Structure 1
Amino acid sequence: MEKVLEINHLTKTFGKLTAVNDLSFSVEKGNVYGLLGPNGSGKSTTLGMILDVVNPTHGDWRWFGQEHSTDSLKKVGAIIERPNFYPYLSAGKNLEIVAQIKGAHPSKIDEKLKIVGLLERKKDKFSTFSLGMKQRLAIAAALLNDPHVLILDEPTNGLDPQGIIQIREIILQIASQGTTIILASHLLDEVEKVCSHVVILERGKTLYSGRVDEMTASFGYFELSSSDNDKLNEVLNSMNYFEKIVQNGNQLKGILREDLSAESLNRLLFERGIVLNHLVKRRESLEQQFLQITQNKN
């Protein structure tokens, strides 16, 4: 896969505070990357450096294979602060100003307003917009020059549930058209629902970088029960497939150490005289995996 961004040993210190500590990862074209971590973990500082807003202490990065190129940044759209438009101008007029600055054709305005669901509000003043609408207008502005990469810093911060869903749907729509997206967030749910890849940061350090669905080596777990859970527990513990068996109410939770299908497990247990009345295979949620990673690194 083509790499649109390569970050190598990026470090930023503010006096005695190390905001970003030897950060390295790459972003491949066409994916949605989540920078995940609590406030103060270095997400915004990292975005500031790769956008040439914050000077790094050490390290470097490359956009599209070019180091510190102004031309490369023209291919990047970004929202790293609260939407800031002229309050008494309409959405359309505000985007006309942005289009002139970016050298984008005015015909792009209606196209981008449609993507973010604001075409019908084109003539309405920015001051009448809700927070969610302001954020969607900012996304439209960032898209005016058809960037190859879109960077969003906490795009759903402060929004109500409906606004969060709208932003999430817009992000997925933009990604489906081939735009690479880098999304900074402290919300696990947001990253899990929209991102294909995740970089977990804590105190400026990388705890994990890779695909969301490959965050751990976990093969998932089974929830299961029978009319005789004591016998079921004994048999499961005798199998090498399981890391451990945990009592969970009226059910047992079998955490896998290697891959095993539900069909195979059901057959193996039946051969040992156990008939299951409940069998579900699950993968650990991003939250569970995140907790495991952060606990293991501390």
Structure 2
Amino acid sequence: MRVMVTGAAGFIGYHVAAALLGRGIEVVGVDDLNAYYDVRLKQARLARLGQGFVFHRLDLADHAALARLGDGVEVVVHLAAQAGVRYSLEQPFAYAASNLTGHLSVLEMVRHGKTVKHLIYASSSSVYGTGSALPYAEDARADQPTSLYAATKRADELMSRSYTHLFGLKQTGLRFFTVYGPWGRPDMAYFGFAEAIMAGEPVTLYDEGRLKRDFTYIDDIVAGILGVFDHPPGDAAPHRLFNIGNNRAEYVTDLVRLLEEQLGRQAVIVNRPKPEADPVETWADVSALGALCGYAPTTRLEAGIARFVEWYKDWREMREG
């Protein structure tokens, strides 16, 4: 079996590719290795993916080149995207190219390909924006995005739904909630906090740390993706959307405390008002995914942060050595 993973050099993409390879599945990895964050980290992830993995450096906006890679692919796990809520305020056109044109390129590849049976694609908890009751359920309104990033991910969902309606594509969209863990993204809060604490630099908390997030450990995320992989859509519901989170909202201050304990250093806290694009709280209702494939996250924040810090110390030494 051959599976394409877009964003294979990214945080979630790397872990998914490794899990698929562990099953003996051939993985075609696609990534443009852009400089949004340290490319050395992306290259280090790729270096750990061994036999059965074939990598292509490619911008998904190049739809003709992407289409040529689809031969023999049975499942596409589309995780490539321009991430980051605040960065979308600085570089909006990067989001149009990667998240909109890139997603359309993948849809067109699947549409015209003869072998793809299932497209699994990444959406985001950001699509809920404002106006939805907690915990977020998949049938909640998602028409009030508070960032361009959120708007592009919701647009991806709508494009996918239209391609299913028009062309019968079998698809599953996953709304990720604050993923963290080893080999994570440096632009995420937990990683940035660890860097600041180790450097003795300020850690910025919004609204004095009263914000809450549904922190989801990477192993639980991979388990959910594999669950969807093993339970593809049928004809009755060819396009599906699922939350994939930890089903537990926790204060950002608790995250900082756990990082301080594991790193053995105190954070220098700076308090600032919450940016308009940031929600006060995120919290996933994961009952639908649980009903589909038994998804039940098991990793508590204290255990996940301990594993992240263990990896982070090694990565920091290797990076600076």
Q: TM class, shorter-chain normalised?
A: under 0.3
TM-score (norm 1): 0.27
- TM-score normalised over the length of structure 2: 0.26
More strand per residue = 1
More helix by percentage:
2
Instruction: Report which structure shows greater RCO (CA 8 Å, sep ≥6).
Output: 1
